[in-house]
Structure formats: C-alpha cells, structure tokens
Amino acid sequence: MQMKRDANIRYCTYCANPLTEDRSGTGHFGSTYCTACKKMVYAGPQVLVLVAPFAEDKILLMKRGLPPYAGTWAPPGGYVEAGESLEAAAIRETAEEVGIEIQSEQLLPNAFVSLPELNQVYLCFIAVLNRMVIPTPAPPESLDARWFALEEFPHSSMWGPAAKIDVASVFEQAKTGRIELHQRTGDVIRVFGSYHVRK
C-alpha cells in the first residue's frame, strides 16, 4: 500500500531539492523520496527533552506561553536540535526558558515518553541542584517560573502529558537519589529499572 507523504516535508534535507511522494516501496509512513540525490527523508517523531530541576525539596516549573497547552505548568524542555546531544539540549532549554544553568552531571535520566498523537518522543531528566536559584522566565515560551513544594504542586493546571505522573514518587527520587526509569506510551506507564546516585 502506498503511504501518503508528510505535506510539511517539502525539501530534501541532503540536497535541498523539492521532494516527491515515496515511490520506493519501503512503506515507511510519511517518508519522502528525493529524485535528485536518491535518498529517503523520514518523517519520524520529533525528539524532545524535559528537565525537572529540584532544589531544597522543591521542583521548578514554568507556565507555558505557546500552544499546545498554553497557560499550563510544565517542566522546562523542548526540541533537540540537529547535531545536539540530549544532555546539551536539556541544558540549553533550561537556560533559555527559565534562566537556570545546570551541568551535564546533574542530569539523571528518569523517563522515556512516547506521544504518538503529537508525533513526539521525550527523554526526561531529573536535575538536583545545590540550592534554589531565582528563575527568569523568557516569554513567549515561558510566561512564569516558580519553585513548588510537593504540597503546592499545581496538579489541576499541569501540562497534559505530565498530568498522570506520580509526583510524590518523583519528589522522593530527587530526595533519595534512587531514580526509577519509566517508560510511557499513551496512558500506559511502567517502571523498568532503577539506579542509585551517591550523594
């Protein structure tokens, strides 16, 4: 069966020539064939990172300014850029959106989240800082940024994909250094491992 190409992909990422529909027979959904350089351009999911910064038993969240989920609270994060590592993207996005500088050794992998409805895949990190730093939100991406204790956590106004997270467990992981690795696809969440970070 011939798959229809992603209409958003119009030019080859290798040679910049206009693209045609996939006539290669590979069957990759959304893939596009370049008749000029004979390469395939794939329309797989976008890769993003999220960072949950913790300090002094509080988590830092930002209020999203852009759709989807504008006006809701979420951890800082965003797209991994071309040629960028996951850790570099996490550091950059945290600095850009909330003005907090973190180091790569502070990034503790915590979850892999697949959101097929948004065509996105996230790698989520916990980052434990020595002390709270006053955040500086950067509109329009971030309208506000605050540190929240567990009892202050804004459950009712959280970013949709984070609404089902066991927040108390994440606070406990950041406090103890025993980090669980989670996998989420749609509404299914499972713990598939853990590791301990020495304090």
For 121-148, give the DSSP string: EEEEEEEE-SS-------TTTEEEEEEE
What are 165's two structure tokens? 């997270």
What are 149's two structure tokens? 């204790």
Asked whether the predicted pLDDT for residue 9 surpasses 70, the reply is: no
Asked whether the predicted pLDDT for residue 172 surpasses 60, the reply is: yes
Q: Which of 11-15, 62-66, 103-107, 194-198 comes out lowest in average pLDDT?
A: 11-15
My answer on whether omega of the bond before 109 falls inside 30° of 0, hence cis, is no
pLDDT confidence bin for 86, thresholds 50/70/90: very high
CA–CA distance, 168 with 173 (Å, rounded to integer)? 9
pLDDT at 4: 45
Delimit the CATH 3.90.79.10 region(s) of the chain.
46-196
Cβ-contact 71, 141 below 8 angstroms: no
Cβ-contact 156, 73 below 8 angstroms: no
My answer on whether omega of the bond before 68 falls inside 30° of 0, hence cis, is yes
Q: pLDDT tens digit string along 173-186?
A: 999 999 999 998 87
This prediction's pTM: 0.81
Which CATH class for the 46-196 domain?
alpha beta
Locus of tokens 């509109």: 139
pLDDT confidence bin for 5, thresholds 50/70/90: very low
Cβ-contact 74, 66 below 8 angstroms: no
Q: pLDDT tens digit string along 42-56?
A: 777 889 999 999 999
CA–CA distance, 7 with 16 (Å, rounded to integer)? 15
What average pLDDT does the segment 139-156 reach? 96
What are 156's two structure tokens? 């009712």
